[in-house]
Structure 1
Amino acid sequence: MTAEAGKRAAAVAAIAYIPPGAVIGVGTGSTVTYFIDAIGESGAGVTRAVATSIDTEQRLRRVGISLVALEDADKPLALYVDGADEIDFLGRAIKGGGGAHTREKRVASASTAWVCIVDDGKPVDHLGIRAPVPLEVESTALTEVVAAVTALGGSPELRARILTDSGNPLVDVHGLDLFDPLRMEDALEAIPGVIACGIFARRRADVILVGREDGSVLTLIPNDEGSSR
């Protein structure tokens, strides 16, 4: 068994959280791909969704789901389902490995509940252990953003030959002090030229579904003391 089995198990488990007839938000990434496939296989009754990337839009269409723009959807959305590059036991996450974190943050913030689906390699005691913090940046502001991020203690690296769906470059920042992720999220997003950072500390996950390699799923409910099962 591999991590893929855990991703698929978490994705399938998320089907149970879909309210009947609801327009849901759908994230981006390999675990979300399993979730979209599971919607198509399960007959879960999802007919409309808000997507967070062109890739997700295409995958949703393939399983017969119509797309709704976030600005046209009734808000708050009942449910948002997405993965994470890292997530701690307070539900704070780093996202953006797929470069879609700006739209993901908008849709997550417009949703009543965020169910985060991950394999068992993604939960961490504190953020920043493995994943860098992605930034979507205005192309004309790269020099200034790199200088400001370096002043915050980070080591920025331009993601080569990769642009977001909006045509903007991505900068991956290593080595940031994420003891207080919310403070760092605010500091990064206050830098002129940063469109959004990949820290999700202001909008935390409400449920974490952790898929294991044996196909079992651990359900965690984040709270201010950590997570309860």
Structure 2
Amino acid sequence: MTGDPEHEKVVVARAAAAMVADGMTVALGSGSTVARVAEALGERGSRARFACASPATAAVATTAGLSLADDATTERYDLAIDGADEVAPDRWAIKGGGGAHTRERVLIAAADRFLCVVGADKLVERLGRAVPLELHAFALAATLRHLPGVVLREAPPTADGGVLADLPADLSDPAALAARLDATPGVVDHGLFSPALVRELLVAHGDRVEHLRD
């Protein structure tokens, strides 16, 4: 049983913000929970430097008074903080509801440590959401032939010009599906994040925060 999701976002965001030390270079993902993290960091007067996966996160971070790093020249990050749409017990996760999963994966891969921050409502027995995709706009019809059942979003292009879509799929073997999508020409990235990335979780259960680590 979970508490109020909006309250849990604030609770877990404050816990995540407390783990950011001055002088760090931190990658922030996107979405409403990450926006709460940026706000909490601003309240703390954080003197870390931040790269943001989406223009929306950058806007929130700037409003909060955070110092933005140059993502074009930063090679590594001390920490990446991002949310998830679903997390299964084996740590497979679905991300990308907000459409920034490609940039999120780039930042997470460049970080020494990834902290996934969620409310208890994001924990599921097994993944069940449609998998978010970012597709090349070039030869889109040809790409779609390899993705039966895919649904294009009524959304503007991503910050990098990609087309957003969602793929309802059998998620009984997420590793196999991720490998197939990785090998599909025209798929820029997908929203399946493996346990190798999702090794550390902060989970809000009401006012209590659980810290899970491998």
State TM-score, norm by structure 1.
Answer: 0.86
Q: Secondary structure of 2:111's partner?
A: coil
Deviation of residue 202 (structure 1)? Answer: 6.6
CA contact (8 A) 2:133 2:191 kept: yes
Match of 1:148 in 2: 146
Q: Any stretches of 5+ residues in structure 1 without a counterpart?
A: 224-229
Select which of 133, 136, 145 maps to 1:135.
133
Cα distance in structure 2, aligned partners of 1:87 and 1:202: 10
Cα distance change on mapping 1:12 and 1:100 into 2, 3 Å: same
Number of equivalenced pairs: 212
Q: Secondary structure of 2:46's partner?
A: coil
Match of 1:211 in 2: 204
What one-letter code is carried by the residue in structure 1 that aligns with 2:191?
Answer: G
- Identity within the alignment, %: 34
State how 1:67-216 maps to structure 2 within 5 Å: 67-75=68-76, 77-127=77-127, 129=128, 131-150=129-148, 155-174=149-168, 176-201=169-194, 203-212=196-205, 214-216=206-208
Select which of 10, 13, 38 maps to 1:11.
13
CA contact (8 A) 2:47 2:66 kept: no
Cα distance in structure 1, aligned partners of 2:21 and 2:92: 24
What one-letter code is carried by the residue in structure 2 that aligns with 1:196?
Answer: D
Q: Secondary structure of 1:89's partner?
A: coil
Cα distance in structure 1, aligned partners of 2:19 and 2:192: 24
Q: Any stretches of 5+ residues in structure 2 without a counterpart?
A: none
Deviation of residue 19 (structure 1)? Answer: 3.4
State how 1:22-33 maps to structure 2 within 5 Å: 22-33=24-35
Cα distance change on mapping 1:159 and 1:114 into 2, 3 Å: same
Residue 193 (structure 2) pairs with residue 220 (structure 1):
no
Deviation of residue 190 (structure 1)? Answer: 1.3
Q: Secondary structure of 2:18's partner?
A: helix
RMSD after superposition: 1.7
State TM-score, norm by structure 2.
Answer: 0.92
Cα distance in structure 2, aligned partners of 1:138 and 1:187: 16
CA contact (8 A) 1:93 1:204 kept: no
Q: Deviations over 1:72-116 (max 9, x none)?
A: 1142x1100000011123332111110100000000011111111
Deviation of residue 15 (structure 1)? Answer: 1.8
